[in-house]
Structure 1
Amino acid sequence: MKLKSFLTAVHVFLCLASFSLASQENINSDYYQQHPIVGLETSDDSFSFLVIGDWGRNGHYHQRTVAKWMDIAAQKVDAEFVATTGDNFYSNGIASTQDPYWRSSFEDVYTGPHLFIDWHAVLGNHDYRGNWQAQIDYSEISRRWEMPAPYYAKNVDVSEDITALLLFIDTSPLNPAYRERDKYAEAMRQDGETQLKWIDKQLSESDADWKIVIGHHPLYSSGKRYGKTSGIRDVLEPLFEKHGVDAYFAGHEHDLQHNRAADLKVEHFVSGAGSELRPVKQREFTKFAQSQAGFAVVSVSSAKCLVQFVNDSGEVIYHYALSLKKDK
């Protein structure tokens, strides 16, 4: 009798579990329809990805709400990957591949099903305060964390006849501001000249239709570091302008920005609003700047590269379309 009762209980449990899973699937299926992103433009013929920066704070500030809308955006645009603009772990990076921050700041925060895609990360200055090599080594542990080196390239086919080159660069060793004052400068003193030659070679030899660069330090800022970016700008801007870079995405500033210097070609975007925020102001080169938590949705097609900033309320607060340059 006891065995029969036990088997009955198991049967009921399995039935309830099956019902629960089926209901959860229905809920998940409806969830994305019930949570539209206001103003989000989508296209079936675009290659899309998300850009998030300055985010790793154990779920604090706005990190979890941003993660929620990142998952929804990834589903809406069928995102191929997530790119980070650095400062992945605050305030002092991580200690190892087994550091609990991997769970508390990454694995247990970005849990949405559509965020289980590749994450292509770059290093920020706060990442250098810890074991930066561990972030590269974590690529061997995680299925979705893809960081093969401090800087690396990714070539993608946007369509049958349109290609894009994405460069993920390590700006801390290139930033003159760190050579003297920063107590972590020694860790950042990799061979900057080697990386610059690599950037020059990648850009000059590429015949990609789109050229997009992702790093940590902005060349222009409408925020806290306004007027303090000339060092890294003098290093990178000549290369970007010379080789027809279409857009540069950075973080470091905890906000969302689009800056465009007069008479220059490159569009400069800041996506560093993954958790904590700082104030911004309108500057002479500012096209858009707001202190709102959020991220960028980038959709590349044969005709345009559309950049949309989504805030942590699920609203598109800015969009800008770059036209494909035929004279590069």
Structure 2
Amino acid sequence: MRGVTLSQPNIPGFCMSSSLQSGELERVHLKAQPRNGNSSKGDGFLGFLVVGEWGRKGAFNPSRVAFQMGKIGEKLKIDFVVSTGDNFYDNGLNSQHDPAFLQSLQIQEPANPLVQRFVTFYLLGNHDYRGDAAAQSSPFLRQIDSRWFCLRSFIVNAELAEIIFVDNTPLVKSYFLNSDNHTYDWHGIIPRKRYITNLLKDVECALRESIAKWKIVVGHHAIRSIGFHSDTEELVNYLLPILKANNVDFYINGHDHCLQHISDTDSRIEFLTSGAGSKAWRGDMKKQRREGLRFFYDGHLFNCPNLMPTLPFMMLTAPFCILGMRGNPFFTHPCS
């Protein structure tokens, strides 16, 4: 077992370390620490923000999204942020020294300095694979900004929940057959079949062995979506059966530039899409296959899953907030 303590910003309530065992996904451990000198974060509550499709060097209003993220994050006392991928448009980073890294991250800070307090866990999206995909996992980027943490696939163990980040862009066959004049960086992925087989085996093993109260899987592409990209066939065929067999509670993704909440009709899984951190796709909604749909919004937004030992609730944040629990009605209230 190899373990290392990761440098990080001053995040109340958690210390962070990572470990890696051969043949397994790397694990990041978030351990409860005392808050304010005498209280503990180990209070049975876990909150985090989810945002995606945001890295456009300030274009399409990411600073306004960041303002609300800081505001809601402070109010809910969240623990971290999740990015569902497509971190840098249109073609990822060209190297670990690409100025786009700071140009996209620093645009958030003048809008709300509170976002500086939260470590963010990043996945790669299809646009990130159009650049130097490995650059986003470089330790050099954490030296520039200690909030940044990105690997292809990894596990965040947050005591109450285990969150498995799955690099599912390589599962989508069309990127290998029809690149639409785009160049993708498949270093470390080829041969694709072996990469996918090993990845799915690691995910299945991690879920099977998990004893966490809540099991959450995060990927860039959707399993269920009524947005522009719709369901992802490869994930429905290969990943979804693993999630169902291992009683996963939430699958969270980006890719479609909207926010959605869809309940699976034959399992406990709740499908959440959070993919409008900057450019949103207005009116782009599939009319068919709307069973299980609980919420859809096609503007700028992010969502806020909050977990307790007995019940989860979600705050889906756009111009307003939506609170909901499985089997209960939704309630709205202003975010201002």
TM over 0.5: yes
| Code of the aligned partner of 1:280 | M
| Code of the aligned partner of 2:123 | V
Q: Percent identity?
A: 32
- Is 2:307 aligned against 1:300? yes
Structure 2 unaligned blocks of 5 or more? 1-42, 328-336
| Code of the aligned partner of 1:123 | L
CA 1:51/1:63 → structure 2, altered by over 3 Å: closer, same or farther?
Answer: same
Equivalent in the alignment of 1:179: 176
Alignment partner of 1:229 out of 224, 228, 232: 232
**Is the 8 Å Cα contact of residues 255 and 273 (structure 1) preserved in structure 2?**
yes
Q: Aligned partners of 1:127 and 1:99: how far apart in 2?
A: 13
Alignment partner of 2:203 out of 180, 184, 199: 199
Equivalent in the alignment of 1:217: 221
Equivalent in the alignment of 1:88: 87
Provide the secondary structure at the position in 2 that maps to 1:288. Answer: strand
- Is 2:168 aligned against 1:168? no
| Code of the aligned partner of 1:113 | P
Superposition pairs for residues 264-303 of structure 1, below 5 Å?
264-278=267-281, 279-281=284-286, 283-285=289-291, 286-303=293-310
CA 1:105/1:121 → structure 2, altered by over 3 Å: closer, same or farther?
Answer: same
User: Over residues 91-132 of structure 1, what are the superposed CA-to-partner deviations in whole Å (9 max), with x where a residue is unaligned?
Assistant: 000112221111221123245332122110000000000011
Equivalent in the alignment of 1:113: 113
Structure with the greater alpha carbon radius of gyration: 1
Provide the secondary structure at the position in 2 that maps to 1:67. Answer: helix
| Aligned-residue offset at 1:75 | 0.5
Q: Aligned partners of 1:145 and 1:284: how far apart in 2?
A: 36
CA 1:199/1:45 → structure 2, altered by over 3 Å: closer, same or farther?
Answer: closer
| Higher helix residue share | 1
Provide the secondary structure at the position in 1 that maps to 2:257. Answer: coil
Q: Aligned partners of 1:71 and 1:196: how far apart in 2?
A: 35
| Code of the aligned partner of 1:87 | D
Provide the secondary structure at the position in 2 that maps to 1:146. Answer: strand
Q: Aligned partners of 1:56 and 1:294: how far apart in 2?
A: 14
Please, what is the CA RMSD of the aligned residues? 1.8
Structure 1 unaligned blocks of 5 or more? 1-43, 158-162, 324-328
Equivalent in the alignment of 1:40: none
The list of structure 1 runs, each at least 4 consecutive aligned residues, that deviate by more than 6 angstroms after superposition, is none
| Aligned-residue offset at 1:64 | 1.4
| Higher strand residue share | 2
Equivalent in the alignment of 2:334: none
CA 1:201/1:310 → structure 2, altered by over 3 Å: closer, same or farther?
Answer: same
Equivalent in the alignment of 1:154: 156
User: Over residues 120-154 of structure 1, what are the superposed CA-to-partner deviations in whole Å (9 max), with x where a residue is unaligned?
Assistant: 0000000000011111112343211012x210001
| Code of the aligned partner of 2:173 | P
Equivalent in the alignment of 2:136: 135
| Code of the aligned partner of 2:168 | T
Q: Aligned partners of 1:276 and 1:320: how far apart in 2?
A: 26
